[in-house]
Amino acid sequence: MATPTVDKQATIAYLEAKARSIRWDVIKMIGTAGSGHPGGSLSAADIVATLYFHELDHRPDDPGWPDRDRFVLSKGHAAPVLYAALAESGYFPREDLWTLRKIDSHLQGHPDMRKTPGVEISTGSLGMGFSAAVGMALGLRIDKRQSRVYTLIGDGESQEGIIWEASMFAAQQKLDNIVGVLDYNNMQIDGLVSEIVDIYPATSKWSAFGWHVIEIDGHKIGEILDAFRAARVVKGRPTMIIANTIKGKCVSFMEKAVDFHGKAPTSEEVDRALVEIEALGPLG
């Protein structure tokens, strides 16, 4: 899939509308479920919108297409942002979103590749998705496919040792067909990442592990587009995009509020949040 225009400003406006639509659906589905992780889903919405509606080469009508690009949501607790993008792309009906976390729903609290079309691998155990994405990139190279792998990791997740084991392997293998994105909102379930196990300076760490590093504002679509474009021309090593973000972005009472890492909004808060998102501009 690709955006329907080559004009950058029009592309940015198109993707911003998609990101607002994704945020609207995230709030609605988590509020309906009464359970879920809104904060990290909202912080990643601009990145995920840019991936699904511009960067990824994928076919919603043929999820198993062998030459597709792969996206792995390693921070699997942010499943709502992935589900919203998949529904908006056409992998399944949007009405399915309101079944989030219900018995027999194919939209569980963490992504399940056996149930949900478009989910490449089941994730949730932190760090495992990233290592699987590295394995996918190696497999695609062995198969001589031109497909690329994109994976989104959390900053709290980056405290896991498996992240760094996989990063060393990817650099050693010179996997230039994988792009990681770090959702750097500096919050995890217990508080500030910088106060629990600080990963700063993330840029220097990833560079030291052999990755090409690009640092951006993870809410500026133009910067996200430029970073993905730059990653495509990097040869001989993987790329990590450090995306500085805000937990709960675009909902005033959720922004930088650690409580909303894994707490659903009340019905009144849902209404307030949806009004705030709609006030930002048209939905995609």
**For position 272, what pLDDT does the model report?**
98
For residue 2, what pLDDT is reported? 47
Place of tokens 């080469």: 57
Q: Give the per-residue pLDDT at 4.
A: 47
Q: Report residue 83 as tokens.
A: 């589900």
Distances (CA, A) of 201 to 33, 60, 155, 160: 37, 38, 11, 16
Q: Look at residue 283 in the predicted model and tell me its pLDDT.
A: 97
pLDDT in tens, 130-141: 999 999 999 999
Give the per-residue pLDDT at 45.
98
The verdict on domain 8-279 having CATH code 3.40.50.1370 is no
* pLDDT for position 262: 96
Cα–Cα distance between 252 and 272 in angstroms, integer? 9
Rounded distance, CA 91 to CA 212, Å?
Answer: 32
pLDDT value of residue 144: 98
Query: For residues 48 and 22, is the Cβ–Cβ distance under 8 A?
Result: yes
How many residues belong to the chain?
284
Q: Kindly list the strands in the beta sheet with 70-73, ordered across the sheet, starting from the edge strand earlier in the chain.
A: 70-73, 149-154, 178-184, 239-244, 212-217
pLDDT value of position 130: 98
Q: For residue range 174-200, list pLDDT tens digits in order.
A: 999 999 999 999 999 999 999 999 999
- The domain limits of the chain are 8-279
Q: DSSP string spanning 42-57?
A: HHTHHHHHHIIIII--
Residues of the chain with pLDDT under 50: 2-4
3-state secondary structure of 213: strand
pLDDT, tens digit, for every residue of 202-219? 999 999 999 999 999 999
